[in-house]
């Protein structure tokens, strides 16, 4: 059964790569953007790329960090911060992703759902990142990874945590 998943910043390279992976795995995707036209165009391009009965649509979203988003949502809406550190090129392709994904949320069910979504991407491993407030730490690692990609002239720097037990 497909869930409806909103991807904030879904028109950028990373967001559209994530939308591609999730839609290809059978999820119903809502692409968020500050501009409705960009969201609708990104959704159209992804539908064409994937084909079939792919459910991808554009929506307007103000774009914000996980904690700011929590403030905007009704209390009964589940929210988890995840996927901040997966590179756009890795998400847009079909090869397995060699990266851990920290999932942060104050809602255990949201954390579980986000972890299931991470597991749909071959090679990606979901890790419990703790409370939603930890998302600010995870989000700050993105700039570090971008810098590594630039310095080493690569496109897929990611994070793997060692010494953790496998599931």
Report yes or no on whether pTM surpasses 0.95: no
pLDDT in tens, 141-165: 887 888 898 899 998 899 999 999 8
CATH architecture of 1-63: 3-Layer(aba) Sandwich (3.40)
The backbone torsions φ and ψ at residue 126, rounded to the nearest 5 degrees and listed phi first, read: -75, 140
Residue count of the chain: 167
- Please write down the HEC assignment for all residues of 2-15: CCEEEECCCCCHHH
Domain coordinates of the chain in residue numbers? 1-63, 75-157
Alpha-carbon torsion (109, 111, 117, 122), positive or negative: negative
Are the folds of 1-63 and 75-157 the same?
Answer: yes
> In this predicted structure, which of 10-14, 19-23, 63-67, 158-162 has the lowest mean pLDDT?
63-67
Instruction: Name the more confident of 166 and 154.
Output: 154
Q: What is the predicted pLDDT for the residue at 62?
A: 44
Q: 59 pairs with which residues across the strands?
A: 32
> In this predicted structure, which of 66-70, 129-133, 153-157 has the lowest mean pLDDT?
66-70
Mean pLDDT of the chain: 87
CATH fold of 75-157, please? Rossmann fold (3.40.50)
pLDDT in tens, 69-113: 777 678 899 999 999 888 888 888 899 999 999 999 999 999 999
């Amino acid at each position: 059964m497909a869930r409806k998943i909103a991807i904030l910043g879904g028109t950028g390279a990373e967001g559209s790569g994530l939308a591609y992976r999730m839609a290809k795995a059978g999820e119903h995707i809502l692409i968020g953007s500050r501009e409705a036209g960009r969201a609708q165009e990104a959704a159209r391009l992804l539908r064409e790329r994937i084909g079939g009965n792919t459910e991808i649509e554009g929506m307007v979203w103000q774009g914000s960090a996980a904690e700011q988003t929590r403030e905007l949502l009704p209390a009964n809406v589940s929210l988890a911060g995840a996927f901040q550190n997966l590179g756009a090129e890795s998400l847009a392709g079909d090869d397995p992703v060699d990266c851990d994904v920290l999932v942060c949320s104050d809602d255990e069910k949201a954390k579980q759902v986000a972890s299931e979504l991470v597991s749909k991407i071959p090679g990606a491993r979901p890790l419990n990142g703790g409370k939603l407030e930890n998302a600010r730490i995870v989000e700050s690692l993105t700039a570090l990874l971008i810098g590594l990609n630039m310095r080493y002239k690569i496109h897929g720097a990611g994070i793997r945590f060692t010494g953790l037990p496998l599931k």
